[in-house]
Structure 1
Amino acid sequence: MKSNFARRWKGAMITAYILSLPTSYLTAQENLVLHYNRPAEFFEEALVIGNGTMGAILYGGTDKDVLYLNDITLWTGEPDRKVTTPDAYKAIPEIRALLDKEDYRGADRAQRKVQGHYSENYQPLGQLSITYSAEPAKISHYQRTLDISRAMARTAYQRNGADFACDYFASAPDSVIVLRLQTESAQGLQATLSFNSLLPHATTANGNEISAEGYAAYHSYPVYFDGVNNKHLYDPERGTHFRTLIRVIAPQSEVKSFPSGELKVKGGKEALILIANVTSFNGFDKDPMKEGRDYRNLVTRRMERAAQKTFEELENAHVTDYKSFFDRVGLCLGKTDQAIAALPTDEQLLQYTDKSQRNPELEALYFQYGRYLLISSSRTPGVPANLQGLWNERLLPPWSCNYTSNINLEENYWAAETANLSEMHRPLMDFIANLQHTGEESAKAYYGVQKVWCLGQNTDIWAMTCPVGLNVGDPSWACWTMGGAWLSTHIWERYTFTQDKEFLQQYYPVLKGAAEFCLNWLIEKDGKLITSPGTSPENKFLTPDGYAGATSYGCTSDLAMTRECLIDAAKAAEALGTDKTFRKQIEKTLPRLLPYQVGKKGNLQEWFHDWEDQEPQHRHQSHLFGLYPGHHLSVKETPELAKACACTLEIKGDNTTGWSTGWRVNLYARLQDSKNAYHIYRRLLRYVSPDGYKGKDARRGGGTYPNLLDAHSPFQIDGNFGGCAGVIEMLMQSSENSITLLPALPEEWKDGSVKGICARGGFIVDMEWKDNKVTSLYIQSRKGGKTKVCFNGKVKNITLKGGKGIKLL
């Protein structure tokens, strides 16, 4: 009699697999399985799993299966205790004087004096290779899946007519990555395991376990910096160290270790593989060697605990933990034709792009995939999701795989609160608090502002805050000053959703410090307060004589972020009943800020002067910050400025990078432009070929890769999170005292339902709608409060006690 394993997979195709899943897997919301009919050849086709600290990139090979492993705390570098350019602040008066003379060439040159070092690089941990029998094999009925409702991946196929499968998951409760190999072959398992790393390391094998120890560089430079020949500086006595353990538990098999560091598994029908890793990283301000964690003993204890459990016990703990977060939100945007849904996910994405097929389940899957990625990459205290979440294969990743604070780091967390994942927001809060410490030194050394903090464009695990560039960087990206102002707005955002006074009390000094930098950085010009010098992230203006400049004064984005930061700080102080003098200072400052200006084309002006952009379709739209993610521009309160924002987006057009597209979904939603919000959402789901694919039919540009990861391109995870946030922004918008339902609902989603999304004021919303009208509505309050709910042309005022709910329809 065949085993359950064999019956489940014998000759099964992916459609049958999906239809056979328990109803708890296929809820009323949508199909939550990414599925493919071949192994991944490129990273952009591979599937990713993670437990918030460790991650794996899964290719699902049949002759050799390679898992690329990551640990979110494995970076180059050491604590950021050195000011590269200690007298940089002395250049600020010079730059201001040049700007007063409208000498933009000179200002750009002088700005290079106000630059420090680059961020460090996020590093790959290594690769686990599982090589199967060297004998020629006929592979059939191949399936590769990722069930995001359970955070479980699986590769299954027939090998010479015998069923084979490998299950994969990354467990947060047990802090390990788990694999289970199963076969129905008469010969049993025939597999060789080995570990390798791009970092300096040593590997040994003993009994049924591989052990590897290595270390990252104590300093490195980004891939785009050409000022040095050696990008990585190594010293075995410095930098972050790691220890990786890989254990095979296969009682029915013969497991042998070899001096080469390999393990061979022979015979038996099943093997459990556990992967554990710990680094010596012990905090942004701790030397990872002198003050590091006891990583060797920690990883040993972690492995011993996990090895005491069966696969089923590990799986149950993992799924229970994961679903406690994931299952909070459900979304149904309609049903996809069964023939389309049965296609592999990459083929669905391609047809969605080329044939404009209706595929509401794919649209909902992309939303839920964003939630899956945030749970999987943001659970380590003080270490938020980076530019690639936590999945990186390169020693010199694009943009160092760092934290880029002029949009990308913030966009990673736009859906954290609305999508009911507030716990995943907490690592960012801790990180912002770390930035305050190093940011005080940067504010003093680079800008001459005392006892406040700031942040430039880039940062890293060591909470680096200085402007980058090493005195040769282009000021358009190297000399931005408003990272602290933008990031700190997340503190007030989190409070508005959670109503957690204890949290606000703890983090209020961080928000206040960023606001105080803004107050101190402002100068007066023609009776109005502006910033000088300033830039609009990565963009350039054209002066009347044709010069493409970056350094200016009174940049709209600077002032928008200053406004939002000051407003948030004042609200936080009021909520805590503190700092009356500080609040009054803000109240006096806000009306004196240079107001928004509308340009000759009807657009929201980006620069102090109504000048052309060097690149009118530039990917950044930082001057629209006040509309989204800020709150001080809106269709209702500032209709003329909202109209100017819409004109700006029209000028920029549709073709842009992945993260920028994700931002534009939210901007159009805030404009209550349902048609364009949906159009841009579809544009975000535009099929993009893997970077390494060289065929004549290759698709390049911004959009979505076959594995549904965001294509900047190359891969950046921020677009996934921006798109996820944008779906909720179309379905619901809120302020501290109001909730508006279906403000930008596209006609394509005229019937649907959502449960568990969160509104400001501490409310949780479940609703159904039909023909664009809400037909069922239940609202619950976390801690008690009142709000007004706007839907179907009506307004209802509600007051609820904490933990209580009300059915309004």
Structure 2
Amino acid sequence: MMRHNDLALSWPAPAREWIEAAPVGNGRLGAMVFGGAGRTRLQVNDSTVWSGTPHGPADSLADVVANGAGPERLAEVRAAVRAGDHRTAERLLMSFEGPYSQEFLPFADLWMTLGEGALQGRTLNLDNGVAHEFLVVDGNEVQRSVWASHPAGVLCVEILGRTDLWLELESPLRTVHKVLRDNGFDLGVEIPVDGAPEHEPEVAEPLRYADGPIDDYDPFGAVVVRIDTDGQVSTTDKALVVTGSTRALIVLGTSTAARDFWDGRSTRTRTEHFAAAEERVSAALAQGAAELLREHDSDLRSLLGGTSLRIGRQVNGPTSVAEVLSGRDERLTATVMFQYGRYLLAASSRPGSGPPANLQGVWNADLRPAWSSNYTTNINLEMNYWPAEVTGLGECHLPLMDLLDRMAANGADVARELYGARGWVTHHNTDMWGWSLPVGMGHGNPSWAIWMMGGAWLVQHAWDHYEFTGDKDFLRDRAWPLLRGCAAFCLDWLVEGDGWLDTVPSTSPENLFMADGRPESLTLSSTMDIALIRAVFTRCLDAAQLAGVDDAILPEIKVALPRLRPPAVADGGWLQEWGEDLPEHDPQHRHMSQLVTVYPLGQIDPEATPELAQAAAHLMDRRGNGAMGWSWAWKIALRARLGDAETARSLLLEATRPLGFAWDVNAPTDGSKWGGLLPNLFSSHPPFQLDGNFGFAAGIAEMLVQSHHGVIRVLPALPSSWPSGALTGVRCRGGLAADITWRDGSLAALTIRRLAGDPQQTVTVVHAGQRTELTLAVGEERRLAC
């Protein structure tokens, strides 16, 4: 169902390695499509297949408390930090560390073998999410299409053309049930109840299985595959064999105990899981391939089609990935990376489908993936969702809110037991179970393991969803409880300082400062801490007013807010990172933690706070450019917010070049080896992490439109090398959307329309020094003179 103006990626050969395969997904099921004649792999993930159990967070909290962590020890830590006794503070604080959050794991491999032949080409359509192949098999033309249907909730493979076919189904997890039927497979696996990250070599059993249910939770998953074909079907001891087929539809469905937990459903028996997967697969087969594809195509186009970008020439039909990676046409590269980031988010995060996109979206083939393929909350999870609202994928944001609800529930216990605080807290990592403890096993450096502001950053996403959609029901029912709980923790976390309220202990992820010749992590009131708390308090006050809420916490917030330290400029002229002007251990550090004030929070702005904006730019000059995908993406967005179009462009060019060394060896985190794109355009350090892909889409959007502080800025950071283009349906805060066309470096056409929000609210539009104000009724649009 390729249309003439679809944007599709193309490869001339089958994938030899996982990082060459094409990703498809429906939010819950993800698959990497290798393609080709002969024996080829479809590697399958389910977003709910994680190690661990629902009881893991509570059990680990009990262990940490039993080892002495709690409010009394926190008081000792604070005293040691204030006394400059870093060794004592660090030793005491490490007792607050739990083990580690859990791992996102691979689920199954569906192997398909066709006859002798050759691949004529394969594509991935970024408008409708179909991976398509043209093959010649035993002299016959054969086409194979793979897609993950959100409406049907299954993975589909359609094969058209005369061919024989062999199917095999395997899992890298513990297989406890496998039945080969005359029309498919039933596969049952047990999922590890504990999975240690690869950076914890001291763990004796990195993947630990249980012998049966634990605390009424049965870590089980079922995979069901069925085929409908006009060929003759037989079986061997491990394969399903089809001969003489001219059409085949293969459908894969899953059901897991973890999905029951996520949905708040009573855990089903293993037999019931097979029945649930079978029911979904049978319903899909009954629809038939044509209807399944039509329904899927309509669903994904309706989601992705609301926003589009073209920089330079119109891109129609298949686009060679080699051409994108060559760097010969930067306008093509920017166009593709914008749409690819949007596609990956829609494929890995859909409402009602399960947990949000993790470090690897919904695609992972490793039993011990880098950083557990989980959620890192000091930048990476947030970056995953930076493009959600602005690029018209607001509904894809909702799975993150579901995870926030789980973190808030667990984090309330952590806040109370560890810190004697109200509200809820989340630290450096989390997982689908809502892990909220610090991680590190008692030896993790506090610079990354001890950070109490994970919730304070993530909760900004609830406010963002309201700001873009104007949905007051969401604000009242979802955002307000999360904001209020986070604010309650922040109020209790703050302590009296030298006239200001301080956070003690405080770290600036993941940097260190020098003290007495040693790199240290623990001090007071990092700039990031205070910026996030200021944002939480401000959002709380605004949300309460908009939702008509009267709450006893509001007077407390109003008293505390003006007592937060303002951002400071270091003696060297750059934005200060900690409450005191401390020398960085790594002046070129990959994290830009204090610049959360610039993007995404917008507390520092070139117009409103020019001196601080200059200090922010000085810091970026000091930090330098290259590092890894996510760091490049943050720097692109930061430069765009500061109006530095040419540096933002140069960063994007650096970040989108091919990775220049082995993808399967993790590079050092010090930035001494720069990352790049993999052959399937996944962003990489390495390891590969999709936060970079999501961040590139958000950064490109930020170069073309900004909508903070009640002002829509059009083409605020347009590079001179992007002289023409069109951005359609881009979302702006206040329930607004914009269509922007530019030619010869100048704005040619601009339309603003109101999708939702307050029709009495004035819309202010700024471009090239010109300021226009207007009001719009819901559904009304206005074309502005250019």
Which residue of structure 2 lines up, in the alignment, with residue 467 of structure 1?
438
Give TM-score scaled by structure 1 length: 0.91
Which residue of structure 2 lines up, in the alignment, with residue 312 of structure 1?
290
Distance in 1 (CA, whole Å) between partners of 2:266 and 2:204 is 26
Residue identity matched to 2:587? P
Mapping for residues 410-449 of structure 1, pairs under 5 Å? 410-449=382-421
Deviates more, 1:557-566 or 1:587-596: 587-596
Distance in 1 (CA, whole Å) between partners of 2:314 and 2:296 is 30
Contact 2:495 2:503 in 1 (8 A): yes
Match status 1:35 vs 2:14: no
Please list every run of 5 or more consecutive structure 2 residues that lacks an aligned counterpart in the other structure.
666-671
Q: Give the counterpart of 2:103 among 121, 140, 150.
A: 121
Give the drift of 1:645. Answer: 0.9
Deviates more, 1:116-125 or 1:314-323: 116-125
Which residue of structure 2 lines up, in the alignment, with residue 776 of structure 1?
749
Which residue of structure 2 lines up, in the alignment, with residue 542 of structure 1?
514
Which residue of structure 2 lines up, in the alignment, with residue 8 of structure 1?
none
Distance in 1 (CA, whole Å) between partners of 2:106 and 2:364 is 6
Distance in 1 (CA, whole Å) between partners of 2:263 and 2:584 is 41
Which residue of structure 2 lines up, in the alignment, with residue 327 of structure 1?
305
Contact 1:85 1:445 in 2 (8 A): no
Match status 1:721 vs 2:694: yes
Q: Give the counterpart of 1:142 among 86, 104, 120.
A: 120
- Over residues 74-133 of structure 1, what are the superposed CA-to-partner deviations in whole Å (9 max), with x where a residue is unaligned? 111111322131141232111111111112232222220111131111111110111233
Which residue of structure 2 lines up, in the alignment, with residue 88 of structure 1?
69
Distance in 1 (CA, whole Å) between partners of 2:205 and 2:546 is 52
Which residue of structure 1 lines up, in the alignment, with residue 169 of structure 2?
195
- Over residues 438-476 of structure 1, what are the superposed CA-to-partner deviations in whole Å (9 max), with x where a residue is unaligned? 000011122221x31000100111101011112121111
Give TM-score scaled by structure 2 length: 0.93
Distance in 1 (CA, whole Å) between partners of 2:253 and 2:268 is 23
Give the drift of 1:273. Answer: 1.0
Question: Cα 1:336–1:566, aligned 2, differ >3 Å: closer, same or farther?
Answer: same
Which residue of structure 1 lines up, in the alignment, with residue 208 of structure 2?
233
Q: Give the counterpart of 1:77 among 52, 61, 85.
A: 52
Give the drift of 1:161. Answer: 4.1
Which residue of structure 2 lines up, in the alignment, with residue 269 of structure 1?
246
Mapping for residues 121-520 of structure 1, pairs under 5 Å? 121-133=103-115, 137=116, 139=118, 142-183=120-161, 188-201=162-175, 202-238=177-213, 239-251=218-230, 253-258=231-236, 260-281=237-258, 282-284=260-262, 294-335=272-313, 344-345=320-321, 347-352=322-327, 357-381=328-352, 383-449=355-421, 451-507=422-478, 508-520=480-492
Contact 2:660 2:676 in 1 (8 A): no
Deviates more, 1:156-165 or 1:102-111: 156-165
- Between the two proteins, the alignment pairs up a number of residues equal to 761
Distance in 1 (CA, whole Å) between partners of 2:247 and 2:269 is 42
- Over residues 171-200 of structure 1, what are the superposed CA-to-partner deviations in whole Å (9 max), with x where a residue is unaligned? 1111111111233xxxx3222111111111
Residue identity matched to 1:148? L
Residue identity matched to 2:238? G
Question: Cα 1:291–1:486, aligned 2, differ >3 Å: closer, same or farther?
Answer: farther
Give the drift of 1:610. Answer: 2.2
Distance in 1 (CA, whole Å) between partners of 2:558 and 2:724 is 45
Q: Percent identity?
A: 35
Which residue of structure 1 lines up, in the alignment, with residue 668 of structure 2?
none
Match status 1:107 vs 2:89: yes
Contact 2:190 2:220 in 1 (8 A): yes
Please list every run of 5 or more consecutive structure 1 residues that lacks an aligned counterpart in the other structure.
1-20
Secondary structure at 2:280 match in 1 = helix
Deviates more, 1:389-398 or 1:583-592: 583-592
Distance in 1 (CA, whole Å) between partners of 2:167 and 2:674 is 37
Secondary structure at 2:712 match in 1 = strand
Deviates more, 1:273-282 or 1:228-237: 228-237
- Over residues 569-598 of structure 1, what are the superposed CA-to-partner deviations in whole Å (9 max), with x where a residue is unaligned? 111111112236533432332221122121
Distance in 1 (CA, whole Å) between partners of 2:755 and 2:514 is 51
Question: Cα 1:448–1:666, aligned 2, differ >3 Å: closer, same or farther?
Answer: same
Contact 1:108 1:549 in 2 (8 A): no
Distance in 1 (CA, whole Å) between partners of 2:639 and 2:325 is 25
- C-alpha RMSD over aligned residues: 2.1
Which residue of structure 1 lines up, in the alignment, with residue 631 of structure 2?
660
Give the drift of 1:159. Answer: 3.5
Contact 1:243 1:277 in 2 (8 A): yes
- Over residues 551-585 of structure 1, what are the superposed CA-to-partner deviations in whole Å (9 max), with x where a residue is unaligned? 11111111111111111111111111223653343
Question: Cα 1:319–1:336, aligned 2, differ >3 Å: closer, same or farther?
Answer: closer
Question: Cα 1:560–1:516, aligned 2, differ >3 Å: closer, same or farther?
Answer: same
Secondary structure at 1:38 match in 2 = coil
Which residue of structure 1 lines up, in the alignment, with residue 538 of structure 2?
567
Question: Cα 1:805–1:287, aligned 2, differ >3 Å: closer, same or farther?
Answer: closer
Distance in 1 (CA, whole Å) between partners of 2:41 and 2:28 is 20
Residue identity matched to 1:88? A
Question: Cα 1:119–1:284, aligned 2, differ >3 Å: closer, same or farther?
Answer: farther
Secondary structure at 2:462 match in 1 = helix
Give the drift of 1:750. Answer: 2.2
Question: Cα 1:471–1:453, aligned 2, differ >3 Å: closer, same or farther?
Answer: same
Question: Cα 1:275–1:156, aligned 2, differ >3 Å: closer, same or farther?
Answer: same
Distance in 2 (CA, whole Å) between partners of 1:290 and 1:69 is 22
Contact 2:633 2:696 in 1 (8 A): yes
Deviates more, 1:142-151 or 1:81-90: 81-90
Distance in 1 (CA, whole Å) between partners of 2:191 and 2:391 is 35
Residue identity matched to 2:241? K
Which residue of structure 2 lines up, in the alignment, with residue 787 of structure 1?
763
- Over residues 294-327 of structure 1, what are the superposed CA-to-partner deviations in whole Å (9 max), with x where a residue is unaligned? 4222111101111112211111000000001011
Give the drift of 1:293. Answer: 11
Distance in 1 (CA, whole Å) between partners of 2:698 and 2:533 is 23
Question: Cα 1:700–1:311, aligned 2, differ >3 Å: closer, same or farther?
Answer: farther
